[in-house]
């Protein structure tokens, strides 16, 4: 993640970044605009130990699964997508 963020912060990689975003557009859903997403990424400082981190793994709210085409995926436990925002809110505000 740190390496990807370092690349995004380099202006020379932005054309590739926008191409990647276009390719991922059908698989990533967000209500952030592209400019909001860029500001969010540029503001991240994963090297700062005081920056809050929340990890979604198969050790908390996700489970291992297999996609229809046989690929390995992670999905919310029991198919309940509501678990993810609940987990994040608990970690951010408690």
- Give the total residue count for the chain: 94
**Same-domain check for residues 74 and 43:** no
pLDDT at 18 over 80: no
pLDDT at 13 over 80: no
pLDDT tens, residue by residue, 45-58: 767 777 777 888 98
**Same-domain check for residues 3 and 30:** yes
**Same-domain check for residues 11 and 45:** yes
b/e burial code for range 5-20 (CB count within 10 A of at least 16 → b): eeebeeeeeeeebeee
8: containing domain: 1-49
Which of these ranges, 7-11, 27-31, 41-45, 46-50, has the smallest mean pLDDT? 7-11
Residues linked to residue 28 through DSSP beta bridges, in sequence order: none
pLDDT at 31 over 90: no
pLDDT tens, residue by residue, 56-93: 898 999 999 999 999 999 999 999 999 998 998 888 77
Instruction: Show which of 49, 69, 85 is a domain's final residue.
Output: 49
């Amino acid at each position: 993640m740190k390496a990807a963020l370092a690349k995004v912060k380099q202006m020379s990689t932005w054309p590739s970044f926008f191409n990647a975003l276009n390719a991922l557009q059908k698989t990533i859903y967000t209500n952030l605009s592209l400019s909001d997403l860029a500001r969010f990424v540029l503001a991240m400082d994963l090297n700062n130990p005081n920056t809050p981190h929340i990890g979604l793994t198969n050790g908390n709210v996700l489970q291992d699964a297999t996609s229809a085409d046989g690929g390995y995926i992670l999905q919310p436990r029991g198919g309940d997508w509501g678990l993810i925002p609940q987990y994040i809110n608990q970690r951010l505000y408690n």
